Structure 1
Amino acid sequence: MDNISYSTYKNLIDEHILDFLPEIDHKSITVYEAMKYSLTAGGKRLRPILLLAACEFVGGDVQNAIPYACAMEYIHTYSLIHDDLPAMDDDELRRGVPTNHVVYGEAMAILAGDGLLTSAFEAMNKDMLLYLDDPIKLKRRIRAIYEISKGAGCRGMVAGQVADIEAENKQCSKEMLDYIHLNKTAALITASVRAGAY
């Protein structure tokens, strides 16, 4: 897949975006519907596209990176669901449609975000299990998961979110503003490129 365009990458992500959600018991189907609602609400798909493009750039097979690209979008979408909650930014619209908590309630929105985050790691680990007999490919996948974990966690996106909340309604220094942007936004973008390269 040489020289893939942005729209081709985006279509590939959109085509597979629900493929890696686990099967959910009918008794808890509401959380699946809430997860699906936010995943399919549109968006640029920048992070998974960067992951696929980085994979292609270093000569990798884009098809092998799809579970990781979709996982990245699951993580990004979970962060948006939680960011929109009344306790955070209290937004009622996201991508032109009502936010998850407006449609499903706060408790279900929290659980949908939790479900997307854990589904991301389930998808990546499920793929990793296919390579237990191939140490080189397994090692690459472990490194990719590590970069994604680090970028999404308390040394990345979560750290930026914490700083953003604590800086709310206060005079914010340039250093703090840079810290917020580098972690809340850039950490997942950087992780996308690094994971795709691995």
Structure 2
Amino acid sequence: MAIFSLAIASFFLSICSAFKIFPGTPSKGTIRSAPLTKSISLKQSVAPATSSTTFDIKKYLYEKKVIVDKALSECIVPIGAENEKLCESMNYSLLAGGKRVRPILCIASSEIFGGEIESTLPTALALEMIHSMSLVHDDLPAMDNDDLRRGKPTNHVVYGEALAILAGDALLSKSFEIVAKHTKGVDAERVVDVLARLGECVGEVGLAGGQAMDLELEGKEDTTLEQLRWIHKHKTGALLKAACTTGAVLGGAEPSEVEAIERFSESIGLAFQVADDILDCTQTSEQLGKTAGKDEAVSKTTYVKLLGMDGARKEAKRLVDDALAALEPFGSRAEALKAIAHFIIEREN
């Protein structure tokens, strides 16, 4: 995953923007950006159920996905012919579908503490932009060299490697811009906390660090379970952890409550990857929307390879049980997160 200085610089600029723009006054000369919540009736869409017997996870995921998809479609707007192709490449991956698990986790975590979706949505969108960036860069020939993503040709296949790299950089930059400019009704200190968590989840102790070690160990037969967990705690789990903890922070959670949500997120982050490894062995490319069997083809170590299929399934269940235990202090307020934890290991793609 190629992370460039442009994106890093943008991160620090965005922190500054949080203080300058947070009160609601746009800076002079700001490039046109989408009014993220201008026409979406958000409050009416938030209605988490109060018990597991009545909670409809399919309905919940669908309703939140509709909100996220609508807002994402308004985010990347070209200012003219000069950047039209770049914006097209960004939107190609950003709007290619997907389950929107990360933004929904952010929203669900915020709801536990009474957070309003209007305040959480910019961060939820930023998380999906970061995720899309990671997929664009992960698919590059220098990385995993894949040509299929979400049932479509990968970004670099359509737009070329150079523009795909720039599209990923621009998505990462845009994610911080959106949080800094559009988060309303939240203390500035909490917004800066969110920005810091987003920055951390991408860097050397996040996505980039996990991807680097994944590449380093590719093809090595002596990779240990401890090393595999480190890779996926960072490559996969870091962004899922950021999704949950930023939602909690935006919702007004106390530090001890954020820690409980963090424990939940670390377990489901690993469970997500275990489930991915199982699906890579059991589903077709058409079902997955990406190339099936790719890990085995390049001799990557997976949970299935180390633990066997039955062992991997038991590991996924153990991790979900740990995640659910972390949510016990929140009782029925955490029904959405509990249901999402089960969904993560029961999904089919």
SS of 2:205 mapped into structure 1: coil
Paired residues for 1:6-21 under 5 Å: 6-21=61-76
Q: Tell me which of 96, 106, 112 is aligned to 2:151.
A: 96
Does the Cα contact within 8 Å between 1:48 and 1:70 map onto a contact in 2?
yes
1:51-90 correspondence runs (5 A): 51-90=106-145
Per-residue displacement from partner, 1:77-131 (whole Å, max 9, x unpaired)? 0000000000000100001100000000000100110110001011111125x67
How many Å separate the matches in 1 of 2:153 and 2:70?
Answer: 23
Q: Percent identity?
A: 43
Gaps of 5+ in 2: 1-45, 50-59, 250-349
Question: What SS does the aligned partner of 1:2 have?
Answer: coil
Q: Which fold has the larger relative contact order, with Cα–Cα distance below 8 Å and residues 6 or more apart in sequence?
A: 1
State the alpha-carbon separation in 2 of the partners of residues 191 and 52 from structure 1: 12
Which one-letter code corresponds to 2:65 in the other structure? K
Structure 2 residue aligned with 1:160, among 185, 202, 210? 210
- Deviations 1:164-191 (CA, angstroms, capped at 9, x unpaired): 0111111211111010110000110011
Q: When the two structures are superposed, what TM-score results if normalisation uses the length of structure 1?
A: 0.92
Q: 1:2 matched to which residue of 2?
A: 47
Q: 1:151 to 1:176 in 2, by over 3 A?
A: same
Q: In 2, distance between residues paired with 1:24 and 1:83?
A: 28
Aligned to 1:142: 192
Q: Secondary structure at the match of 1:41?
A: coil
Q: Is the 8 A contact 2:109 2:247 kept in 1?
A: yes
* SS at structure 1 position matched to 2:168: helix
**How many pairs does the alignment contain?**
193
Q: TM-score, normalised by structure 2?
A: 0.53
Structure of larger gyration radius: 2
Q: Which runs of 5+ in 1 are unaligned?
A: none
1:180 maps to 2:235: no
User: CA–CA distance in 2 between the matches of 1:56 and 1:78?
Assistant: 26
